[in-house]
Amino acid sequence: MKLTENMLQKVEGQKEKIGQLLLKHTSLSEDQLNEALQIQRESGLLIGEILLKKNYIHPHDIVKVICHQIDIPYIQEIDVDAIDVEIIQNIPINYAKNHELIPIIETQKNVTVIMTDPFNFDAINDLREIFKKDINVIVSSPLKVNDAINRVYERANKNMVQSLEDNFEDNLDLDGPIDILDAGADEAPVIRFVNSIIFRAVKERATDIHIEPYEKESVYRFRINRVMTEILRQPLKTHSAVASRIKVMAKLDIAEKRLPQDGRIPIKIAGKDIDIRLSTVPVGNGERIVMRVLEKNNNILRLENLGFHGQVLADLDDLSSRKHGVVYVSGPTGHGKTTTLFAMLDRINTPDRMIITVEDPVEYEIQGISQIQVNHKIDLSFAKALRAILRQNPDVIMVGETRDQETAEMALQASLTGHFVLSTIHTNDASSVPNRLIDMDVQPFMIASSLAGVLAQRLIRTLCKECKKPKKVTKYDLEVLGIDALPKGAELFESQGCPKCDYKGYDGVTVVCELLMINDEIRTLIINKADAGKVKKAAQRYGMKTLRHDAIEKVLMGITSVDEMVRAINVEENEEE
């Protein structure tokens, strides 16, 4: 239990009584109190603080005294046998233990809870949310509360295993409640059990839930802060009911138990949107269930939202799902390279993949992904971090930036040993990347065998929809666009600026890009150290749309202006950064 400053102050407010109250309600002796009062006169410290430091009282003694002062019921003994196990169905045991609380009585209007800390308002709020009723608090000692938690949960667990065995697969409830905390006592035990596991995972900020069937038992483990921890075991008999219930939630085929399946479970917990990505794999004793728990936030990065579409989007999807290979995103600083990488990672952030990133700095925090921050002070460079990461054998590695031979070689090498690697690199276009790597003294054959694709991108501002209007086409416009006349029906736009766009004329950004997909012909060119121009020509023959081309298209579609195109395309990479 944590003693807050607030509590100590509260006791201190009644200086004359505190000593007497502690004498009366705790094992504090008169001599000890006098000694503390003496120290207080010299030091000016709070009396409670002194007594605690001297170990004359236990932190809980302070709470006890506060309860007497402000009339919160305090009980010495808890009648554990009188507690109905139904009442703890929706409270995970770890939650009860962490907050040292146990609900004991539920009526139509309210729920009475015994806690060690009546000022734990976070927990009281949680309970109000869970029960949707007012909460009455009674206080007892940590020893008594913990003992009650252990005994009541043990009794509940026995009941649950019994009913899971009895009910097996009937009553799986095809729809289920929308918010899992709304599941009442009338739901089937398996539903309440699965809900409580998910609730517990979210509460404990677990990123993965593993449920694995062994010879006699089904083992439940959570990954919290990258570390797997066993949380409970159940008899193997219960495994198939639990697996079926989870598959129902993900709308998977529950009859299919011999093939791996993937699915998603969108769920609400206490009003929070949670996205669970599920994968099932048949193993010896049943199906291994792995769930990745992702809290939905509003600014989820999606390639579509960033402006990728059509063939490029399809190719990026193809690249993201590879088991090995290196993909680089290139472009000037401030043109969204990292954002694109994270949108790609989000697409493949599923429970069957272990993803580790090394970044400088960590820009987005993503659940389910282990992120490492480069630290030059302690000499933790990209290369050094990468070496450490490889020992953990991840499936996907994201290296924030490639700027030296060591980092480049390790990334390419990692891909050869079965890792998928994403990184950024500084070049003006996609076709220059192989040569940039050769300039770093990387062997051409290594590049040729590992490189899967290169995306070059720029952010380009979009014309304000409120104030944009067609403009007269000038000779300069046509020159920039490299055409003699506008295609039929096409128009060029400009904007004057209006209150809506803050008189800037532009109201957002989108991406223009070129995606170089590495094929056999380009591989040969790389091995022969062909220049970027040749690589580009070959790629265009296979349908690569260049940055310039993509920008021209966006100008002709009226998304952006000729001026903006010139500005964005001609940004030169600043090598100093």
Nearer to Zn ion, 199 or 506 (CB): 506
- Least Å from the CB of residue 558 to Zn ion: 14
Nearer to Zn ion, 59 or 497 (CB): 497
- Least Å from the CB of residue 498 to Zn ion: 4
**Residue 337: enclosing H or E segment and its boundaries?**
helix 337-347
Q: What are the tokens at 121?
A: 């308002």
Can you give the binding site for Zn ion, defined by CB under 5 A?
A: 464, 466-467, 498, 500-501
**204-241 b/e with 16+ CB inside 10 Å = b?**
bebbbbbbbbeeebbbbbbbeeeeeeebbebebebbbb
Nearer to Zn ion, 15 or 500 (CB): 500
User: What are residue 8's phi and psi, to 5 degrees?
Assistant: -60, -40
Nearer to Zn ion, 192 or 461 (CB): 461
- Least Å from the CB of residue 462 to Zn ion: 11
Nearer to Zn ion, 501 or 535 (CB): 501
The 10 Å Cβ neighbour count of residue 357 is 26
Q: What are the tokens at 416?
A: 């050869």
Nearer to Zn ion, 302 or 469 (CB): 469
- Least Å from the CB of residue 467 to Zn ion: 3
In 3-state terms, the chain is what percent helix, strand and coil (to 5)? 45, 25, 35
Nearer to Zn ion, 469 or 529 (CB): 469
- Least Å from the CB of residue 464 to Zn ion: 3
- Least Å from the CB of residue 497 to Zn ion: 6
Q: Which residue's C-beta sits nearest to Zn ion?
A: 464
Cα atoms found within 13 Å of the Cα of residue 291, Cβ hemisphere only: 28
Residue 25: which of 70, 81, 63 has the closest Cα? 63
Looking at residue 30, what DSSP letter applies?
H
Alpha-helix residue ranges (DSSP H) falling in 132-176: 142-167
Q: What are the tokens at 422?
A: 């994403």
Looking at residue 428, what DSSP letter applies?
S
**Helix, coil or strand: residue 279:** strand
The 10 Å Cβ neighbour count of residue 300 is 13
- Least Å from the CB of residue 305 to Zn ion: 22
